[in-house]
Amino acid sequence: MGILGLDVERGLFLGIDFGTTNSVVSIYDFKEGDVHTIPIDGSNVFPTAIQFEIDPEDPDKLSRIFGIQAKEAAIIYPESTVLSIKRWLGSDEKVKIQVEDKEYEFEPEQIAGEIIGYLKQKADEHVQEELNLAGEFSGCVITVPANSTDKQKKMTKEAAKLAGFDEENIYLRLEPAAAAISYAVNEQKDKKVLVYDFGGGTFDACILNIQIDEEDEPNISILSTYGDNHLGGNDIDKIMMDLIYEEFKQMTNGEIDLFNLDTDDGVSKRQKKTALVRLQQMATQAKERLSSAKSTKIVLAPFLQEPKIVNLNMEVSKEAFMHHKRVNALGDPAELFEKMEGKSVEDLIQHTMTIIDECLASAKLEATDIDEIFLVGGSSTIPHVQEKIKEKFGKDPFKSKMSPALSISRGAAYYCNMIMMPTVRGPIVHEKTIHPLGLEIAGRRFMEIVKEGMDIPKDGLIIEAEKLLTTNFDYVSSMAIVVYENTKPKTKENVYVYEEGMKRLAGTSLRGIPTAPRGEEKVKVMFHIGQDNMLKVMAKSMSTDGVETELSVDELYE
């Protein structure tokens, strides 16, 4: 590998695919004009896991273990290990861990920041020791699912800041767009491409239009994107867990509930937690073995040692796994289990096909219009996924020499190159808005201001509301400005903010407006969206002596 160029004013940038199950980091090699994935602890794919323990030098402090060691430690210390933190981002729920009978609480972005900070530390060491470069990574391009809410993006950005990256040098980019760059960088023909991104925790379908310009560089436009932030390989693992757990319930006559830590059924909390982590890991391993085998053996001996020894020894066929309908909550929140109850692996994969249909419809395309299908994410390697893709599109997915698990990080590194060396030619992605954005108005109606699929210029998109807001009561001196995101757009005249898919982002008040009879005082509202799809809202009274306010939606959530 060549030496990274240092003639960049903004320092080194790291491309980060921060995944639910695994994470990958990559850098751009200016000498070779290519991307290099940095091995973390000896592997290109790093488990997104952290385990806490008492610092041996200071009993009042916690020390951390990351990656594969943390994932393995979860078997013995499940209560002090955090897995799949990405699914917590966007949530107000605290992450609780227990170390030696003492409970600790963290914000989700704090845990994510710890893990990203470890990735940064190891990447810094790599360029210093292996590439003989001084300094460290000051900036990053970190990818997010296409269907991310504004709050999830804000918390991801905050995690990167906590990890030690300069706030002004943290860029968010969409995962399918990053994957498309890694695909399109060697493309020489105009094509319409479907990115099928099936990761550990999320699924995104994204249709891209790739056009080769006069200088033989690809220009990438996002035609449409749809996704599900709670559909991924973890949910497929849960179906295998469910199948094994049903066997366990039969063996114990349903007398032991591993997911109820407070019931008195003769099994300690510690042993239940350990059994659950072993169950989860065995389910993941069995699922992976069935990718290339017709059946697999599952042995957990002993699975429990109290109040009596319970050994699990069962054979699971691929057919039984694919068609097993989930019946147990397995610790999932009620809302998530309601979505997954009665679903099989076949059902979940079929749901990804339904999302693809929505994506095609939004782009006003047919399956026959798609020239190439690019698979991204570890779950996309499931043979049944590739069978369904071929059935739907009449062609096999693109056979890439690159692992689907590495493509997003590599694409993020190409983004880094564009930021660090803006005069260098390369793939260009034309960013678009993902969800409609707007305000709550009288009658709890949603007034759409920003439509989905709008082009976002390099300097950001500024949209002024077509209608001025007016006061609803006589002689008031303030007006509520409440911003919503419509994650499930509907084609009807009136949409209300309490409907499914409506996400309240932020709220403020425009105070000090001149008092006047109802309807006379008017307020202009403008939305500004950056290329990372982060939003700012400006509101201004139209009176001569009016007032104005600016609401940074990425900084205010209630």
Report yes or no: 249 and 99 within 8 Å, Cβ to Cβ.
Answer: no
Q: What is the CA radius of gyration of the chain?
A: 25
Q: Assess if residue 83 is contained within a domain.
A: yes
Same domain, 43 and 123: yes
- Please give the pLDDT value at position 352: 95
Give 4's pLDDT tier (boundaries 50, 70, 90).
very low
Name which of 371, 389, 391 is nearest 380 in CA terms: 389
Are 125 and 80 found together in one domain?
yes
What pLDDT does 106 receive?
Answer: 95
Burial 320-357 (b: 16+ CB within 10 A, else e): ebbebebebbbebeeebeebbeebbbbebbebbeebbe
Considering 381, 404, 430, which residue would you say is the last residue of a domain? Answer: 430
CA diameter of the chain: 81
**Residues 47-98 pLDDT 10s:** 999 999 998 888 888 999 999 999 888 767 888 999 889 989 988 889 999 9
pLDDT at 546: 60
- Is the pLDDT at 33 greater than 80? The verdict is no
Q: Are residues 114 and 140 in the same domain?
A: yes
Q: How many domains is the chain built from?
A: 2
Q: Are residues 413 and 507 in the same domain?
A: no
CA 10 to chain centre: 27
Gap between the Cα atoms of 138 and 10, Å rounded: 8
Q: Among residues of the chain, what percentage have pLDDT more than 90?
A: 37
The per-residue pLDDT for 472 is 84
Count Cα neighbours of 292 within 13 Å in the Cβ-side half-sphere.
Answer: 4
- The reported pLDDT for the residue numbered 523 is 87
267-278: buried (b, 16+ CB within 10 Å) or exposed (e) per residue?
A: beeeebbbbbbb
Residue 410 inside a domain? The answer is: yes
d(C-alpha 479, C-alpha 510), whole Å: 5
Same domain, 349 and 454: no
Indicate whether 156 and 185 sit together in one domain.
yes
- Lookup result for tokens 């057919």: 319
Q: Three-state DSSP class for 89? A: coil
In a domain? residue 255? yes
- Is the pLDDT reported for residue 261 higher than 70? yes
Of 430, 453, 472, which residue constitutes the final position of a domain?
Answer: 430
Same-domain check for residues 370 and 511: no
212 beta partners? 218
Angle (CA) 50 122 100, round 5°: 25
Q: Select from 378, 399, 430 the last residue of a domain.
A: 430
Residues 126 and 260 in one domain: yes
CATH at 257: 3.30.420.40
pLDDT in tens, 278-327: 898 899 899 989 988 999 999 998 899 888 899 999 999 999 999 999 99
In a domain, 558, yes or no: no
For residue 104, the enclosing domain spans 1-430
Give residues with Cβ within 8 angstroms of 214, minimum separation 6. none
Pair (403, 491) in one structural domain: no
Asked if residue 355 and residue 504 are part of one domain, the reply reads no
Question: Is 283 among the domain residues?
Answer: yes
Confidence of residue 553 (pLDDT cuts 50, 70, 90): low
471 and 322, same domain (yes or no): no
pLDDT in tens, 367-392: 999 999 988 887 888 889 999 999 99
Closest alpha carbon to 546 in 489, 478, 492, 499: 478
Using alpha carbons, select from 548, 554, 539, 546 the residue that is nearest to residue 520: 546
Measured CA to CA, the distance from residue 235 to residue 259 in angstroms comes to: 17
